[in-house]
Amino acid sequence: MVALRGLAALRDRACACRDEGCNQEVERDFRDLADRYRNLVFDDDQREQVSTLASEMTVCLMNVVTGNLAASDDEIASTTVETCDAYVASIAALVRCDNVDDEERAKLRAGRDRLLGGLGDLSAARETERAQASDACLMALNAVRTGARGMGCAVE
C-alpha cells in the first residue's frame, strides 16, 4: 500500500536525521502525508503497521531533540555482545561503501537503530537474554554480509 510505503520512507528519513532542521522537514512531510491519506480506511493489520511505523519515527525524532545520538557510525557504544558489536561494525563499513546511496544508508542506519533499541542495555542482561540478542544480531549480520556482497561492498 502506497501510504504505508510512504510512512516507512519517512520513518527511515527520521532515523537518519542528525539535526533539528531535518526533523522539521520530516514532520512537515508527515503532516502532508497524513493530509493526503486522511480518508483512507485501514484494516486492523494496516492500523498496527501505521502505529508501529509512527512510534519508531517518533523515537528517532526524539533522539535528535534529546541529543541521544552517536557522533558517527563508528562511535556507537559497545553492546557488550560480540555478535551485536560485529553487526554494528558491519553497518558502519557498509554505509561507507561508495556503491550505497544515501537512501539505502538511511535505511541501514534505521534498521540498526531499531534492532539496538529493541535490545536495550545488554550489560546487565541475564545470559538467556544475551544469547537471544546474540542470535538476533547474528541473523542481522549475515543479512548485511549477503547484501554487501550483492552491492559489491567489502564488509567483514
Tens of pLDDT along 13-51?
888 887 888 888 988 998 898 889 888 888 988 888 888
Which of 38, 66, 94 is the C-terminal boundary of a domain? 66
Q: For residues 69-93, give the mean pLDDT.
A: 75
Which of 14, 35, 66 is the C-terminal boundary of a domain? 66
Domain range for 59: 2-66
Same-domain status, 82 and 59 = no
Same-domain status, 50 and 92 = no
Structure confidence at residue 71 (pLDDT): 42
Same-domain status, 33 and 98 = no
User: What is the rounded CA–CA span in Å between residue 43 and residue 148?
Assistant: 36
Joined grid coordinates for residue 132: 537471544
Please list, in sequence order, all residues whose beta carbon lies within 8 angstroms of the beta carbon of residue 65, skipping any fewer than 6 positions away.
20, 23
Higher pLDDT, 10 or 63: 10
Q: For residues 119-127, give the mean pLDDT.
A: 78
Helix axes 2-16 and 102-119, enclosed angle (nearest 10): 80
Same-domain status, 110 and 59 = no
Query: pLDDT above 90 covers what percent of the chain?
Result: 6
Q: How confident is the model at residue 2 (pLDDT cuts 50, 70, 90)?
A: confident
Residue 8 lies in a domain: yes
Same-domain status, 95 and 32 = no
Q: Write down the mean pLDDT value for the chain.
A: 82
On whether the CB atoms of residues 47 and 1 are closer than 8 A, the answer is no
Q: Which amino acid is at 100?
A: V
Same-domain status, 103 and 44 = no
Which of 66, 82, 109 is the C-terminal boundary of a domain? 66
Q: For residues 124-148, give the mean pLDDT.
A: 88
pLDDT tens-digit map of 84-120: 889 888 888 888 888 988 778 888 888 777 777 766 6
Question: CA torsion angle for 104, 5, 30, 32 (degrees, to 10)?
Answer: 120
What is the CA angle 141-2-24, rounded to 5?
75
What is the per-residue DSSP string for 15-58? HH--SHHHHHHHHHHHHHHHHHTTT----HHHHHHHHHHHHHHH
Same-domain status, 136 and 96 = yes
Same-domain status, 99 and 122 = yes
User: What is the rounded CA–CA span in Å between residue 57 and residue 146?
Assistant: 27
Same-domain status, 37 and 88 = no
Same-domain status, 84 and 146 = yes
Same-domain status, 53 and 89 = no
Same-domain status, 23 and 58 = yes
Residue 156 lies in a domain: no
Structure confidence at residue 77 (pLDDT): 65
- What total of structural domains would you count in the chain? 2
